[in-house]
Structure 1
Amino acid sequence: MFYDLNIPYTSDDPEITHTLNFLAELGYTTVALSQTITGKLPPNLTPPKSPTNAPKSLNLLTRVNVILADPAQNQRLNSLSQNFDLVALRPTNEKSLLNACTNLECDLISLDLSVRLPYHFKFKMLAAAVARGVRFEICYGPGITGSGLEARRNLISNATALIRATRGRGIVVSSEARRALGVRAPWDVINLACVWGLSQERGKEAVCEEARKVTALAKLKRTSWRGIVDVVYGGEKPTEHAGHDKKGAANRKATPQAGKVDNLKRKASIGSEPALEEPEKPLSKREMKRRAKKARLAGADGGPETTAPLPTS
């Protein structure tokens, strides 16, 4: 299962159908349609309507990208997770990056690596975000779709620095492609990650396992208590009406069977016939000796002579 968690999308985008079809042909299974917000968050922010003619093999997610310049302007980030499947932050300076890594609730930290960053990545700051379950996203689209040599050079250097600072952990690679020409096949993305400094195993995890963890943790945050406890089945008891209905059905099923048993018993009693006499069992040797002895004693006393069968040897 391959993931692309950053496909810019608007409701009037004419290229989205071709992009999604091309992603499905390349083997992607889960795609996140992203919406970017700059400045103060609007009061009622909802994702745009999903495209109706999207391939059925794709699992479409909704995502919001928040440009984070001043943390004081974005105090309602927790409410976004109820409307969007993924919440990503894009810090523009080191202070906002530190705040996103340590305090703010989000699923991804997506940095614009195609520009020259005015700060350096620090291991402790990035490790704090990875420990909280936040992943760092590298978008290869802006560096390969005609943005110029400067953007490509910045992408390679910044991605290498980010991978070195995170020790290759918690990295997710996405496209951020606005057209189908900016999308690359999953194994091409893995080879590109190897150029940046990731191993082939880590590169595959960046488009498979790590991206799956992002979606799973985001879903757990929405449906569970503080992202820790999730009630899958509460052991609900059936209502009283349902119990009475089941008992009534059981009684109705048991009644005909009882009648059948009674009918069988009555038929057996009505058509009864005299039982045949059992044949007499042959006498045992012990019984024959006992009867012979009794006959001899009776003859010695002067009683009527009786003959008894002698025991056979």
Structure 2
Amino acid sequence: MFYDLNVPYSPEDPEISHTLNFLAELGYTTVALSQTITGKLPASPTPPPPPTNAPKSLTLLSRLNLTLSDPSQNQRLTSLTQSYDLVALRPANEKSLLNACNNLDCDLISLDLSVRLPYHFKMKTLAAAIARGIRFEICYGPGVTGSGLEARRNLIGNAMALIRATRGRGIIVSSEAKRALGVRAPWDVINLACVWGLSQEHGKEAVCEEARKVVALARLKRTSWRGIVDVVHGGEKAPAPQQPEGQKVTPKKPATMSGSNGDSLKRKASVSSEAPAEETEKPLSKREMKRRAKKARLEAQGGAGKETPVPSK
């Protein structure tokens, strides 16, 4: 199962159907359609409706990319997690990256590695995010689709620095391709990750296992209490069974408990109408059999010694 968790999407985009069909042909099974918001959050952001002509073999998820440049913009992240399947943060400076790694509740930290970053990656900061279950995302699309030599150089250098700081842990690779020409096959992505410094095993985990963990943890956060107790039933009342027309419903009388002299709260033992079954007799012991035989023998001897009286004339 291969994942691509960053495909830019808008309902008016005519290229989205070609991109999704090409992803299905390459072997991807789960795709996240992303929507990007920059600046102040809207009042009630909702994901756009998914495309109707998407391949049936793809599992489509909704995702929000939120660009953060000021820590005061994170007041309503909890409400966003209930509307979108995935919430990814894109810090614009080192202060926002530190806040996202230590405090903010998100599923992914997606960095634009095709530009020159004004800060360096610190292993302690990134390790805090990985310990909280947050993954870092590398998007190869901006550096592959002919954005220029400078973008490719920045992508390779920043990706190597990120892999070095995280020691190859907690990294996923996505496309962020706006057209089908920017998408690469899963094994091409694995080879590309090997160029950046990942081993082939970790490169495969970046598009399979680690991406699957992101989706599973995000679903667990939204359907359970603190990721521990899964809410199966919310306590809603079951609907009353409908009676067929023309049939009268007789109300049931409350069961009364027998009793007298104020002792009506005590429940008496119910007497069954059936006769109790006869208890099976236990086998006699040898001692009891000898005792009964001796008693019978003595009774026989005593009856024989008695004379029958003669009736008088």
TM range (shorter): 0.7 to 0.9
Tell whether 2:139 aligns with 1:139.
yes
Kindly indicate whether the alpha-carbon contact (under 8 Å) linking 1:108 and 1:137 is maintained by their aligned counterparts in 2.
yes
More helix by share: 1
Equivalent position amino acid for 1:76 in 2 = R
How big is the shift at 1:236?
11
Match of 2:77 in 1: 77
Instruction: Look up the SS of the partner of 2:105 in the other structure.
Output: coil
How big is the shift at 1:203?
0.3
For residues 1-313 of structure 1, what are the structure 2 equivalents within 5 Å? 1-232=1-232
Q: 1:240 to 1:95 in 2, by over 3 A?
A: closer
Gaps of 5+ in 2: 243-313
Instruction: Look up the SS of the partner of 2:78 in the other structure.
Output: helix
- Which structure 1 residue ranges, 4+ long, deviate > 3 Å from structure 2? 231-242
Equivalent-residue separation in structure 2 for 1:196 and 1:42 (angstroms): 37
Equivalent position amino acid for 2:94 in 1 = E
How big is the shift at 1:134?
0.2
Equivalent-residue separation in structure 2 for 1:154 and 1:215 (angstroms): 28
How big is the shift at 1:240?
9.8
- Bigger Rg over Cα: 1
What value does the CA root-mean-square deviation take over the aligned residues? 1.8
Kindly indicate whether the alpha-carbon contact (under 8 Å) linking 1:6 and 1:174 is maintained by their aligned counterparts in 2.
yes
Q: 1:11 to 1:241 in 2, by over 3 A?
A: closer
Equivalent position amino acid for 2:197 in 1 = G
Equivalent-residue separation in structure 2 for 1:50 and 1:101 (angstroms): 30
Equivalent position amino acid for 1:91 in 2 = P
Equivalent position amino acid for 2:114 in 1 = S
Instruction: Look up the SS of the partner of 2:225 in the other structure.
Output: coil
What's the CA shift string for 1:218-239, capped at 9, x where partnerless?
Answer: 0011000022221447999999
How big is the shift at 1:146?
1.2
Kindly indicate whether the alpha-carbon contact (under 8 Å) linking 2:2 and 2:30 is maintained by their aligned counterparts in 1.
yes
Equivalent position amino acid for 1:118 in 2 = P
Instruction: Look up the SS of the partner of 1:96 in the other structure.
Output: helix
TM-score normalised by length of structure 2: 0.75
Kindly indicate whether the alpha-carbon contact (under 8 Å) linking 1:40 and 1:74 is maintained by their aligned counterparts in 2.
no
Equivalent-residue separation in structure 2 for 1:203 and 1:186 (angstroms): 10
TM-score normalised by length of structure 1: 0.75
Equivalent-residue separation in structure 2 for 1:241 and 1:178 (angstroms): 52
What's the CA shift string for 1:112-145, capped at 9, x where partnerless?
Answer: 0000001000001000000000000000000011
Equivalent position amino acid for 2:89 in 1 = L
Paired residues in the alignment total: 242
Equivalent position amino acid for 1:178 in 2 = K
Equivalent-residue separation in structure 1 for 2:235 and 2:224 (angstroms): 17
What's the CA shift string for 1:2-26, capped at 9, x where partnerless?
Answer: 0000000001000000000000000
Kindly indicate whether the alpha-carbon contact (under 8 Å) linking 2:63 and 2:86 is maintained by their aligned counterparts in 1.
yes
